[in-house]
Amino acid sequence: MAGRLANRIALITGASRGIGAATALRYAQEGAHLVLVARTQGALEELDDRIRKLGGQATLLPLDLGEVDRIDQMAAAIHARFGHLAILVANAASLGVLTPLAHLAPDVWNDTLNLNLTVNWRLIRALDPLLRLSPAGRAIFVTSGAARSAFAYWGAYAVSKAGLEMLAKVYAAETVKTAIRVNILDPGVVATDMRAQAFPGEDPATLPAPETLGDLFVELGEAACRRHGEIVSAPRR
């Protein structure tokens, strides 16, 4: 397929729904070959059906990223099949539990920090060599405004996203003299399952859909992108 991402190999985590699924569909329309990672096989297969109807191609990887050692296995499989990786969209995340810090269960803290922060470091560790093998490697980390505002009860999520932003900025500093471009995307308020979990009384029909972020994800994934080390915020809608 022709398009702005034609023939670029793009890995998307948290791909089965919400922002991840919407990005996958848009990337398919722009000609990328997709490597889709999520825990649920059935949801990935449903997304794959939609991608095929668009004329796109996808490789499905049902994987619990919390089992971090499997990330290295995933990277090895990508290298064996494709030889490189052009785009990483690090989207998978967990809200955890909204509660006072003093009431937060240790396992919830650990699981939230693991998925939202440690997993992304493991993705960098495993996939950096593959991004360097691309003539224009691009890494996009999905953040939240909670990383830069001290909202009561959002402790584990906010801390993990603040850590993610610093992680991505350090990675950007380390790749400034390479062909890799690293950026952080803040989607703002979007109708997702996580948003509904945090604000159960909100009408999702009044919020922007994940599909409205497509142009930003494509821009940051293009070989022509020159932005680096930025927090790119979606326009207020």
Catalytically active residues, by annotation: 157
Closest CA to 7 of 40, 36, 30, 35: 30
Closest by Cα among 93, 139, 155 to 119: 93
CB 130 within 8 A of CB 75: yes
DSSP string, 87-155: EEEE--------S-GGG--HHHHHHHHIIIIIHHHHHHHHHHHHHHTSTT-EEEEE--GGGGS--TT-H
